[in-house]
Amino acid sequence: MGVINTNEDSFFEGSRFSGEKALKHIEEMIESGAGIIDLGGVSSRPGSLGVSEEEELSRIAPIVDLIAKNNLTCKAKFSLDSYSPLCLEYALSRGFSIVNDITALANDDVARVAARYDATVVLMHMQGEPSSMQEMPHYDNVMLDVDAFF
């Protein structure tokens, strides 16, 4: 699995790409055996701040379009790391097949978009939001609490 982030705030600097450099890196990952490529336009690292759906779309759309134009969805599965119905609709309508939602489908519209495209959904658990999720997280029993969440 490979990761491409289209913002300057992502956890791992080495995953940040844009434009033709992103396309080249995606092609290299596929040639190296990546079967899934995850694209993200908004950082979810602890302490990060969100952006508008429109800003996220402006970050991911050029790369989604390059992926579609070069028929790369025939060579690997593509995932969008997003909880934006607007962005997910854009990516899924262009051949992406996985929704990577850090909010675990908190927004029913995300679930509707995923269902409309029969997309695989990856869910994450966190307490709070990325900006606050590391501020004194507490679990009585982490396994039981996370199990109850899902």
Per-residue pLDDT at 134 exceeds 90? no
Per-residue pLDDT at 133 exceeds 70? no
> Using one digit for the tens of pLDDT, what is the confidence trace for 40-92?
888 666 665 677 899 999 999 999 999 999 999 999 999 999 999 999 999 99
Q: State residue 41's pLDDT score.
A: 86
Strand partners, 98: 79, 120
Q: Give the DSSP H or E segment for 120.
A: strand 120-123
* Cα–Cα nearest to 60, from 41, 88, 80: 41
Domain 2-149 sits in CATH at: 3.20.20.20
- The pTM of the full predicted model, rounded to 2 decimals, is 0.85
Query: In the chain, what are the domain boundaries?
Result: 2-149
Alpha-carbon separation of residue 25 from 9, 39, 116, 135, 149 (angstroms): 19, 12, 30, 35, 36
Tokens matching residue 102: 């850090």
Q: State residue 31's pLDDT score.
A: 97
Count CB neighbours of 79 within 10 A.
23
* Cα–Cα nearest to 87, from 65, 69, 104, 120: 65
Q: Give the DSSP H or E segment for 79.
A: strand 77-81
Under DSSP, the state recorded for 140 is: S
Under DSSP, the state recorded for 42 is: S
